[in-house]
Structure 1
Amino acid sequence: MSFVADVLTDPSIPASARQQAINRIYSDPGVPQQSSTSSFWLKTPRAFEPNGPGLPRTVDVVIIGSGITGASIAHSLLDNAAPPSILMLEARSICSGATGRNGGHILETADEYSELADLFGVEDAKKIMRFRLAHLGETLAVAEELGIAEESQARKVQFLSVYFGEEPWQAALERLRRFKEDMPEEAAEWTSFEGDAIPKHFHLDRARGIVAGPAGALWPYKFVTGVLAHLREKYPDKFRIEERTPVTKIHELGYPALPYKVETDRGVIYARHVIHCTNAHVGHLVPGLLGRIFPVRGQMSAQTPGNLFPNQGNDHSWIFNYDRGFDYLTQLPEGQMMLGGGFAQGEHGGLADLGVPTDSDLSMYIDIHLSGALPAIFGRKDWGFVSGDPIQAMWTGSMAFTSDGFPWVGQLPESATGRSIGKERGCEWISAAFGGEGMVQAWLCGKALATMLLAQDGKLDQGTDSDLEWFPKQLLSSKERLDATRLPQEVSDTPHRASL
């Protein structure tokens, strides 16, 4: 979130450009456009044939969105003694949004621990860190449990967070010290290298220092579609997926059993619960979240490594920390380098990508940066030459950020939707806005939301932890949070951070 506040209040950027970004943030993001850049992850799409003709007339739960969040919610709802009937609706093809366009990087550096501890206290900061760190083991376990680990290339690696300057390196060491001091068990695998102690096989001769720790990598599209295919096979009477079915409107009808009418281009569905997993597009159907959740366009690439660079796809992933911004990198077992980032190198330091909900265009400046970064980082003598096209694909995706830096998870207040709710009736729910860090937030956010929904309906399995003590309160949806976290609508040079 801090980088958003930085660019919106940077007096070196013309006020007119900053105001245009704020206006985009407050604009209706609409439904996902059919035109898009071509993501490398989607090059071998999985076919999802319709369960039956047309749309079902009634259903217990409508999930809008088919990314990792929707998959997690469906998985948790169906893995219950009394599973509800679920209809998942996707505006385009399955998993073609943010999850099908991200870096496939299951990474939590713990860099934010110190800031979180200063803001919320040590115990809350520890809970947030444990929640994020748990995603590595949880994701790999799900892949193994469902038999999709090999297909999705889910694997544990060691991340290398690389610093090139003296001042940022010293700040990183202090953050690492505090994390290891306060959370020694969780930080057991974290270590650091600097100067001559940096291993030569890292091929990072220009680095001032490196923080290393546990991380994961996978093919995100294959992971999510693998989960969804498993659920369709196991629960054919309870779980349906319909792609190319954008939701255009939601009406609150007042009927206790089926209080919501969900309109699509293909017909209407009556549902007890509606769950918004639409991330950057959530403001279209939940207008009260405009100015609290907003799209940010990110850019990714798939690149061919130089002939001298050894394949480290099963060993390492990388974060490259610059004077402005950072890049993130994984390498596939087949060799492709999946490099994303470059945000701060975009127009006006990334300002032009704020509030952009489409993924149909590239940023020229970020394209230039990503296309030339890797030989410079790893050293041209260790990189060698590239046989064939060095850039196999370049694409964009719409992330969702929030005004207070945390995802939104839970029941939506009436003031957000403009539609009424009641204790004896179904509700509208949200699990969205992961700030570009969905791989270490989305799956367990989905699991938490499913638990909340089942608890409200009185259908939780016996012995299930319904109090969600493990879930950080900062992520919960509430009217109080809605009232407190609205971005200013006018340009200001004073940094703003919404507070809970």
Structure 2
Amino acid sequence: MSLVQAQLSNPGIPAPERQQALNRVHADPGVPKDATTSSFWLQEPHPHFTNKSSFPLPAKADVVIIGSGVTGASIARTLLQSRSMCSNPSFPKVLILEARDVCSGATGRNGGHILENADEYAEFADEFGEDAARKIIRFRLAHLREMLSVAEELGLTEVAQARKVQFLSAYFGDENWKSAKERLQRFKKGMPEESEEWIAYEGDSIPKEFKLSRANGVVAGPAGALWPYKFVTGVLSRLLSEYPSEFQVADHTSVTAVHYDQDQYSIETNRGTVHARHVIHCTNAHVGHLVPGLRGRIFPVRGQMSAQTPGDRFPLQAEKHSWIFNYDRGFDYLTQLPSGQMMFGGGFVHSESLGIADMGVPADNEMSLAIDIHLSGALSAVFGRESWGCVQGNPIQAMWTGNMGFSADGFPWVGELPGSLTRRTRTSNKTGEGAEWVCAAFCGEGMVQAWLSGKALATMLLKKDGHSGEDLSWFPEQLLVNEQRINKAVLPQVVSDSPRRHANL
């Protein structure tokens, strides 16, 4: 069970406030609002996307992707590289629609972490069995290699600052550390080859260079970091250059409705209507707006991030480490840029009503004062004031929020959408006919779930169109859309303090 869902049954939070959160979870999240907080990642717009789209929308497209983050970029790349989707060259094959600036949603507001610490292996093994747990963890771990490889292939390694680091997951509190060691032991026993680089340190064995002397213990392992906006816009820019007649990206184009009629979809936007064979929803926290049946199954959670100047005694570790700070209640996450900035986020439980006030919130135009206070002072405390030193001037370079898409069972939703979720009736389901799809709800871990989920979704689409595609035996079945999951993985509409498993909360 994620920390977010756990708060719904936390008796320390008044029931009326938890009920208000559930009401928001089941409400229409709408389209992203124009007003936003200013993300540090977006301060240097890509030259290809500095001006609002002014070209007329095409009347038709083979595939319309709604959302221009890492998921949409991955899907577009996989589809375009197939080059076999559409025999009609008179209109673009793939069109991405974005309500605001390109990559200005969750991807352009996250922590820049490519991190899977395998902390949930034991939980997955207990619930789904050892084989399924290995498959889920392997899928997540594969993102580090895959994303760094794509960055290198496209010449984005330097510009996107894509790099492999060692994560340091620090635990504060005896019980917290004891549980972490037990989970690590399960992981190393169940996946000895994959866990070879994982190391545990505790007490005096924690290397001094970590500057984590206040931690009870530290788990270290392989991870990555990058500038998410520069990575995604770099991928999209390359696709636009390589497929000028087959690919378009339309920003500031909000989708207001989707209809199905006469074997095609009509996608209504604030700039006109586009007809398409396939529609792919990559809107994460906002997916319930156009897919009403996903409300309560996928819901927004507002998170908060900051860019900070490090203390004058803290050594540059951008090429060496990234961090997770695990407390008795909640956690924070941190990467450091080669230029020195500390990209620090978290503090969920420090928000109003222990975080419940951020659950179901679909806007990123406001910030929590309580989280601001926490993030502004936590780093010097965690690393120790002697190791941190002083900061000249204002240490906070930027503070912003973003909307994450969470799911009731803790897994992304990837696959073809049935009419029971879209509330749109299809007249037939023949091979080669279009469909509506979803790839969303990465539960705050998009950097180790979204790229390959997008690749899998695009492969499913190609196979539906009758094209041979990559074998998908590597893709975890827990992420697939099916009727059993639709019936099971939904949050209640009324608060209950009875303990339940996380898939049925």
Q: TM-score scaled to structure 1, two decimals?
A: 0.97
> Does residue 62 of structure 2 align to residue 60 of structure 1?
yes
Equivalent runs, 1:14-413 vs 2, <5 Å: 14-46=14-46, 47-48=48-49, 53-84=55-86, 85-255=93-263, 259-413=264-418
Q: Percent identity?
A: 64
User: What is the DSSP-based 3-state SS (H/G/I as helix, E as strand, rest coil) of the residue aligned with 1:225?
Assistant: helix
Q: Which amino acid aligns with 1:319?
A: I
Q: What per-residue deviation string (whole Å, max 9, x for no partner) do you get for residues 61-119 of structure 1?
A: 00000000000000110111414500100000000000000000000010000000000
2-11 or 344-353, which deviates more: 2-11
The offset of 1:493, in angstroms, is 0.5
Q: Runs ≥4 in structure 1, deviation > 3 angstroms? A: 49-52
Check if 1:488 corresponds to 2:496.
no
Distance 2:273 2:38 in 1: 31
Give the aligned partner of residue 90 of structure 2. Answer: none
1:471 aligns with 2:479: no
Structure 2 counterpart of 1:423, which letter? Answer: N
Deviations 1:405-450 (A, max 9, x none): 1000000011000112332221000000000000000000000000
**2:52, 2:252 within 8 Å by CA — same for their partners in 1?**
no
Distance 1:231 1:51, change over 3 A: farther
Distance 1:78 1:495 in 2: 47
Match of 2:451 among 440, 443, 464: 443
C-alpha separation in 2, matches of 1:486 and 1:198: 42
Cα offset, 1:346, TM superposition = 1.0
After TM superposition, give the deviation of residue 465 of structure 1 in Å: 2.4
Q: What secondary structure, in the 3-state scheme, does the structure 1 residue paired with 2:503 have?
A: coil
Identify the range of structure 1 (323-332 vs 78-87) with the bigger mean alpha-carbon deviation. Answer: 78-87
Instruction: State the secondary structure of the residue aligned to 1:31.
Output: coil
Please list the CA deviations of residues 182-219 of structure 1 after superposition, one character each: whole Å capped at 9, or x if unmatched.
Answer: 10110010001111111111111101110000000000
Partner of 1:428: 436
Shift of residue 50 of structure 1?
7.5
Q: CA deviation at 1:388?
A: 2.6
Q: Which moved more, 1:45-54 or 1:415-424?
A: 45-54
- 2: CA distance between counterparts of 1:275 and 1:112? 29
**2:55 maps to amino acid:** P
Partners of 1:51 and 1:240 within 8 A in 2 = no
Question: What is the deviation of 1:7?
Answer: 1.0
Q: CA deviation at 1:123?
A: 0.3
Alpha carbons 2:75, 2:457 under 8 Å: kept: yes
Contact 1:50 1:241 in 2 (8 A): no
Q: Distance in 1 between matches of 2:386 and 2:4?
A: 37
C-alpha distance in structure 2 between counterparts of 1:2 and 1:459, whole Å: 38
Task: Measure, in 2, the Cα distance between the counterparts of 1:131 and 1:423.
Answer: 30
Distance 1:75 1:499 in 2: 35
TM-score, scaled to structure 2 = 0.96
Decide whether the 8 Å contact of 1:98 with 1:397 is kept in 2.
yes
C-alpha distance in 2 between matches for 1:420 and 1:476: 21
Q: Secondary structure at the match of 2:310?
A: coil
Equivalent-residue separation in structure 2 for 1:83 and 1:240 (angstroms): 15
CA distance in 2 between counterparts of 1:295 and 1:50 reads 26
Contact 1:83 1:238 in 2 (8 A): no
Read off the aligned partner of 2:488 and give its amino acid letter: A
Displacement after TM superposition at 1:52 (Å): 7.3
Q: Measure the CA separation in 2 of the matches of 1:53 and 1:360.
A: 28
**Contact map agreement 1:5 1:495 (CA 8 A) in 2:** no
Whether the 8 Å contact between 2:119 and 2:183 is mirrored in structure 1 is yes
Question: For residues 137 and 427 of structure 1, what CA distance do their matches in structure 2 show?
Answer: 31
Quick one: structure 1 residues 199 and 415, their matched pair in 2 at CA, closer, same or farther if it must change by over 3 Å? Answer: same
Partner SS, residue 151 of structure 1: coil
Tell me the amino acid that sits aligned with residue 131 of structure 1.
Answer: F
Amino acid in structure 2 at the alignment position of 1:153 = Q
Provide the C-alpha distance between the structure 1 equivalents of 2:198 and 2:23, rounded to a whole number of angstroms. Answer: 42
Distance 1:446 1:499 in 2: 26
SS at match of 2:451: helix
Task: Return 5+ residue gaps in structure 1 as ranges.
Answer: none
SS in 2 for 1:212: strand
Asked whether the equivalents of residues 261 and 268 of structure 1 are also in contact (C-alpha less than 8 Å), the reply is yes
- Counterpart amino acid of 2:494? E
Question: Would the aligned equivalents of 1:113 and 1:125 in 2 still touch at CA under 8 Å?
Answer: yes
Give the drift of 1:473: 0.3
CA distance in 2, matches of 1:51, 1:228: 14
Give me the whole-angstrom Cα distance separating, in 1, the residues matched to 2:212 and 2:143: 28
Aligned length: 493
In structure 1, how many angstroms separate the alpha carbons of the residues matched to 2:42 and 2:2?
31
- Aligned AA (2:60): T
1:163 and 1:322 in contact (8 A); partners too: yes
